[in-house]
Amino acid sequence: MTTLDDFKVTKIKQSKLSSVDYDNLTFGKYFTDHMLVADYANGEWGSASIMPYQPITVDPSCAALHYGQAIFEGVKAYRNQKNEVCIFRPYENFKRFNVSASRMEMPIVSEEIFMEGMKQLVKLDEKWVPERHDFSLYIRPFMFSMDEMIGVKPGSNYKFMIILSPTGPYYSAPMRIYAEEKYVRAAEGGVGFAKVAGNYGSSLLATSEAKAKGYDQVLWMDATEHKYVQECGTMNIFFIIGDKAITPDLDHGTILAGVTRDSVIKLIKDMGMDVEERPLSIDEIIEAFKKGMLHEIFGTGTAATISMIRELRYRDIVMNFDTDTWKIAPKIKSRLDDIKEGVEDDKFGWMVKI
């Protein structure tokens, strides 16, 4: 097993932990005392280092700034009832990170640097893992090109880093969602399945326009017909129609293969309910609503975990829901929380102890 002794470690002299206001914990505002850094040059990764959290220096010609060769992941660590710190399904994030790297013509990151580096960084800053229910330590691995030149081509030099941030609930209340028809998140053959920085940058205008109309997020539609639902803002999406759970399939490469999405599918099946992964049109959703068959809509993601949707608008059609009466989404969230916090037995083997 790799230990801190296998990484070059420089520790801080005084922790910043006392500055964290857990009663007003904005997502992504506070960062822990240390970070992990590894550099790729001459066709190989150098040794990873853990050092005090600090700014990094990049050249104005840094290729990532000009051509967007940048990817990231989102992972979470939790403190269970035994006061143990465990990371939720990090190997799935490791695999997906390298899928994104391959799509963006970037080098594969080794398991030792990604996984063991993550474990040891979290172990070093484990006091930052909140002890509160529904709180966690958000883990952000990311990589970007460091080439100092202007020219459209794959880089030769890259920087891989991991930073940590304590966080509370991402969405504090059920959401209002606007079905987007003008803007497109992803098209077949593109990078919709990869966790590419540009996917999120390109979503900002549509999200801002939806918020100006009073909505929290957009429901993305397919690029060709603007008819089939894809993702919801930063989340995958599920619909409880009749006695089945339906979520858009991943076959067209336009939807991120969410780790929470996969976990929710497994939990729903474990509860004895059928899950369908298939194309789902907005017309089918509206018809189900009108017939009283659309019972619940919820988003799933690392940051949000489970986020219930109380309103979905498509053109002039507004679908409202009483989330207080829901059974499926609250039960799934409760089970996920219980597994993460050690209340329920982790029969799926999802929690990785540091």
pLDDT per position as a tens digit, 224-252? 999 999 999 889 999 999 999 999 999 99
Domains of the chain as residue ranges with CATH: 4-168 (3.30.470.10), 175-336 (3.20.10.10)
Q: Average pLDDT for residues 272-299, to the nearest whole number? A: 98
Question: Is 128's pLDDT higher than 80?
Answer: yes
Q: Average pLDDT for residues 189-193, to the nearest whole number? A: 97
Query: Quick check: 239 and 245 in contact, CB under 8 A?
Result: yes
Query: Quick check: 138 and 28 in contact, CB under 8 A?
Result: yes
- Tokens representing 309? 């949707």
pLDDT tens string 35-58: 999 999 999 999 999 999 999 999
- Tokens representing 146? 């460091």
Q: Tell me the average pLDDT of the chain.
A: 95
Question: Is 7's pLDDT higher than 90?
Answer: no
Exposed / middle / buried, residue 14 (Cβ in 10 Å: 0-12, 13-18, 19+): exposed
All residues at 6 or more sequence positions from 300 whose CB lies less than 8 Å from its CB, including other chains: 235, 236, 237, 238, 258, 260, 261, 263, 264, 306, 307
Question: Is 179's pLDDT higher than 90?
Answer: yes
Look-up of token digits 């989102």? 74
Euclidean distance between CA atoms 261 and 258, whole angstroms: 5
Question: Is 21's pLDDT higher than 70?
Answer: yes
Question: How far, rounded to the nearest angstrom, does the alpha carbon of residue 181 sit from its chain's CA centroid?
Answer: 24
Euclidean distance between CA atoms 197 and 101, whole angstroms: 12
Q: What is the pLDDT of residue 165?
A: 98
pLDDT tens string 302-327: 887 899 999 999 999 999 999 999 99
Confidence band for 5, pLDDT divided at 50, 70 and 90: low
- Tokens representing 39? 């550099």
Question: Is 143's pLDDT higher than 80?
Answer: yes
- Tokens representing 163? 């930073």
Q: Enumerate the H helices of 249-319 as residue ranges.
A: 259-270, 282-290
| Phi, psi of 194, rounded to the nearest 5 degrees | -100, 155
Q: Which of 169, 100, 102, 97 is nearest to 130 (CA)?
A: 169
Q: Which of 110, 132, 111 is nearest to 23 (CA)?
A: 132
Look-up of token digits 């989330």? 323
CA angle 260, 303, 338 (to 5 degrees): 60
Query: Quick check: 166 and 129 in contact, CB under 8 A?
Result: yes
Q: What is the pLDDT of residue 4?
A: 53
Question: Is 255's pLDDT higher than 80?
Answer: yes
**β-sheet bridge partners, residue 137:** 77, 166
Q: Enumerate the H helices of the chain as residue ranges.
A: 63-67, 90-103, 111, 117-124, 197-201, 204-212, 259-270, 282-290, 328-340
Q: How many CB atoms lie within 10 A of CB 320?
A: 11
Pairing status of strand 158-167 against strand 85-88: unpaired
Euclidean distance between CA atoms 60 and 106, whole angstroms: 20
Query: Quick check: 303 and 170 in contact, CB under 8 A?
Result: yes
Question: Is 1's pLDDT higher than 60?
Answer: no
All residues at 6 or more sequence positions from 145 whose CB lies less than 8 Å from its CB, including other chains: 62, 63, 64, 67, 69, 70, 106, 154, 155, 157, 158
pTM above 0.85, yes or no: yes
**What Cα–Cα distance (Å) separates residue 315 from each residue in 191, 240, 303?**
27, 22, 28
Q: Average pLDDT for residues 57-72, to the nearest whole number? A: 97
